[in-house]
């Protein structure tokens, strides 16, 4: 008997190997990539300023501010949890850095570091409370969402008597902190903000961790079936708390950009942003139920968001319809993802 | 050689005694079958042995010395692997990722996943078991129930288990797929593992078992070697009730040392 027939005998002849196209199409980010190309082509056709290379920087900047948060939010969703406090946590990070430095007359870098500790601690608190109570993360983080929203406003008014933090541009260390969190470089006609760099680095790092490290395997497992993961020895609790802390870290990074870009932070900002991060992740192929998704997809979702936001303006359409467009995108993405998942289950 | 032994092990959840005075031993190269109807305490027993729950009474002895498993990882590290009824596989993850979940191979300075090696080993181990999966990147959800059981069993054997606990591996399977899994149980036994085979099907148990323990309402009501039993008797014991005392008496005549009396269970009190 030749080896070939042995192999054939060992295989179930009803199971054919999957064609390459099917394997490519079953990747989670495919839907978002197709949508991104369609939207790009659409605005290239209808909006003249969209074709101007100089505007690439503006579009990427819009995408990057969403993308920096969409990456950790996507990882958290793949790990099976939500964070509704992610939007206001960005504001909390910005405000705390600013207020601590301003109120106590510290070097702004000390405010930046204290803010980092606080932001990561908020993430850890979300994770701890979730595991401690066993409540769904939707409820736990909805609680912290409202708590932080109130704290942002209340503490800012106590400290400054105003609803925004004081201007810190004349304080020690501002120039260097601005260079780290708010600078920009000009390459040819394109003006690129530093957030674009952070976004790309975070996307690469997130995708690497998710697909090429042990922690990534654990993230998929705790989101897919936490009981199964625990049974084979995956540290479910640490993985989930770690994911919430990653969201906290990125909220800090976003908050620092907010602070050093505008020198002051409005205390009411950030409400509603959490859904935009979640939408970017869902458009990128993350399932609400966890265990499936893509970091690259979430970043493409952020790019779609950036292109649409500016594309609607550039095309001269009424920007009132932006949110409607976003809602339609979300529904379409969910339906496509559901369809793909069903097909993946069948194949 | 006895690898794992339970001595008068009990477990209470608050005022509910899920398990009381259970003794059994798992020997190398033998299949110990634990039978019982729903609610008999089989799941509690597994959870104690696999490290998910701690026992509240008695001793668990590994190689003769008492142990307390703090977590499933702890139990695994000491060579006790469990294949759960619900399979302990994440359905949307690929076959190879599931196979190495919790025991990922890594290489290089960055501790990257060694994907090529993991796929190669996974394919080789599955082929050994006679499972053919054309694409290891497919989600586990796309496999059949029997194939999934085999992935879980192959995984446990590959990761150096000395004792493998199978929690109702044939419960949800068809006749032919059950046959595949039972053949695997025999392979594991012949490879020198101690196997705990949990089931409520006496026919499947009798096909592969060396030793039989029947649980009822959290207690051991029968503990007998294969030589002392026939399939008919095992089936009758499982259905319990009226014949229980009589049969136990009969068996005690054969070898008193090997039979645990049915304690406080009186005829008619068990439905």
* Percent of residues, chain B, with pLDDT higher than 90: 1
Residues of chain A below pLDDT 50: 1-15
Domain covering A30-337 in this structure, CATH number: 1.10.3470
* Percent of residues, chain B, with pLDDT higher than 70: 87
Residues 6+ apart with CB under 8 A from B166: B83, B153, B185, B195, B196, B197, B198
Residue from the list B91, B92, B102 with its beta carbon closest to the beta carbon of A232 = B102
Give the mutation candidate from B71, B72, B90, B111 for the A interface (greatest A CB count, under 10 A): B90
What confidence tier does B87 reach under pLDDT thresholds 50, 70, 90?
low
Q: CB A16 to CB B134 under 8 A?
A: yes
Contact B83, B152 (CB under 8 A): yes
What's the pLDDT at A129?
Answer: 94
- What is the rounded average pLDDT of the residues B61-88? 81
- Both tokens of B260, joined, read 């645990």
Using the predicted structure, report yes or no on whether residue B74 has a pLDDT greater than 70: yes
Give the mutation candidate from B71, B101, B106 for the A interface (greatest A CB count, under 10 A): B101
What's the pLDDT at A6?
Answer: 42
C-alpha to C-alpha distance for A210 and B203, rounded to whole angstroms:
45
What's the pLDDT at A158?
Answer: 92
Which domains, ranges and CATH numbers included, belong to chain B?
Answer: 2-91+144-258 (3.40.50.300)
What's the pLDDT at B41?
Answer: 83
What's the pLDDT at B265?
Answer: 54
What confidence tier does B248 reach under pLDDT thresholds 50, 70, 90?
low
Using the predicted structure, report yes or no on whether residue B223 has a pLDDT greater than 80: yes
Instruction: Identify the residue with better confidence: B68 or A244.
Output: A244
Using the predicted structure, report yes or no on whether residue B243 has a pLDDT greater than 60: no
Per residue in B111-121, pLDDT (tens digit) is: 888 888 999 99
**Does the ipTM surpass 0.85?**
no
Q: What does DSSP assign to residue A97?
A: H
Closest residue, chain A, to B130 (C-alpha): A10
Residues 6+ apart with CB under 8 A from A249: A72, A116, A119, A120, A123
C-alpha to C-alpha distance for A106 and B112, rounded to whole angstroms:
41
Q: Is A233 on the interface with B (CB under 8 A)?
A: yes
| Predicted TM-score (pTM) of this structure | 0.80
Using the predicted structure, report yes or no on whether residue B2 has a pLDDT greater than 90: no
- What is the rounded average pLDDT of the residues B7-31? 85
Contact A95, A331 (CB under 8 A): no
């Amino acid at each position: 008997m030749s080896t070939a027939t042995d192999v054939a005998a060992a295989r179930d002849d009803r199971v054919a190997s999957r064609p390459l196209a099917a394997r490519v199409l079953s990747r989670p980010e495919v839907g978002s990539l197709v949508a991104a190309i369609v939207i790009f082509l659409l605005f290239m056709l209808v909006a003249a300023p969209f074709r101007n290379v100089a505007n690439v920087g503006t579009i990427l900047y819009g995408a990057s501010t969403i993308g920096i948060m969409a990456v950790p939010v996507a990882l958290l969703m793949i790990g099976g949890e939500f964070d509704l406090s992610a939007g206001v946590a960005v504001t909390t990070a910005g405000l705390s850095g600013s207020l601590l430095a301003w109120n106590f007359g510290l070097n702004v870098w000390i405010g930046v570091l204290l803010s980092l500790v606080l932001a990561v601690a908020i993430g850890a608190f979300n994770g701890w409370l979730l595991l401690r109570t066993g409540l769904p993360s939707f409820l736990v983080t909805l609680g912290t969402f409202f708590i932080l929203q109130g704290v942002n406003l209340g503490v800012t008014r106590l400290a400054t008597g105003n609803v925004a933090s004081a201007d810190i541009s004349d304080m020690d260390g501002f120039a260097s902190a601005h260079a780290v969190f708010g600078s920009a470089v000009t390459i040819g006609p394109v003006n690129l903000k530093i957030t674009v760099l952070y976004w790309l680095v975070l996307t690469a790092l997130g995708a690497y961790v998710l697909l090429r490290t042990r922690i990534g395997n654990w993230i998929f497992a705790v989101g897919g079936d936490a009981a199964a993961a625990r049974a084979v020895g995956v540290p479910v609790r640490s993985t989930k708390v770690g994911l919430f802390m990653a969201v906290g870290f990125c909220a800090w990074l976003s908050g620092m950009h907010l602070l050093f870009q505008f020198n002051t932070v409005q205390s009411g900002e950030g409400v509603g942003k959490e859904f935009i991060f979640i939408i970017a992740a869902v458009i990128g192929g993350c399932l609400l139920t966890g265990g499936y998704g893509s970091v690259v997809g979430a970043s493409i979702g952020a790019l779609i968001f950036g292109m649409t936001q500016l594309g609607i303006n550039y095309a001269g359409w009424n920007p009132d319809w932006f949110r409607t467009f976003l809602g339609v995108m979300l529904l379409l993405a969910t339906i496509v993802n559901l369809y793909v998942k069903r097909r993946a289950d069948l194949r | 050689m006895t690898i794992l032994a339970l001595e008068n092990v009990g477990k209470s959840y608050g005022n509910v005694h899920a398990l009381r005075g259970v003794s059994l031993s798992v020997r190398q190269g033998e299949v110990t079958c634990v039978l019982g109807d729903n609610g008999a305490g089989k799941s509690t027993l597994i959870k104690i042995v696999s490290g998910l729950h701690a026992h509240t009474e008695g001793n668990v002895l590994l190689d003769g010395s008492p142990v307390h498993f703090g977590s499933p990882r702890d139990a695994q590290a000491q060579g006790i692997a469990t294949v759960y009824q619900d399979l302990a596989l994440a359905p949307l993850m690929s076959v190879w990722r599931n196979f190495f979940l919790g025991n990922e191979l890594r290489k290089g300075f960055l501790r990257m996943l060694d994907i090529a090696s993991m796929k190669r080993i996974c394919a080789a181990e599955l082929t050994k078991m006679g499972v053919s999966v054309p694409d290891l990147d497919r989600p586990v959800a796309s496999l059949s129930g029997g194939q999934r059981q085999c992935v879980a069993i192959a995984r446990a054997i590959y990761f150096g288990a000395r004792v493998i606990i199978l929690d109702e591996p044939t419960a949800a399977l068809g006749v032919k797929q059950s046959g595949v899994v039972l053949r695997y149980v025999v392979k594991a036994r012949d490879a020198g593992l101690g196997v705990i085979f949990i089931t409520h099907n006496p026919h499947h148990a009798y096909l592969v078992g060396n030793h039989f323990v029947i649980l009822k309402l959290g207690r051991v009501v029968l503990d007998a070697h294969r030589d002392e039993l026939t399939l008919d008797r095992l089936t009758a014991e499982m259905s319990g009730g009226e014949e229980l005392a009589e049969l136990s008496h009969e068996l005690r005549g054969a070898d008193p040392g090997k039979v645990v009396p049915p304690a406080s269970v009186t005829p008619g009190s068990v439905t």
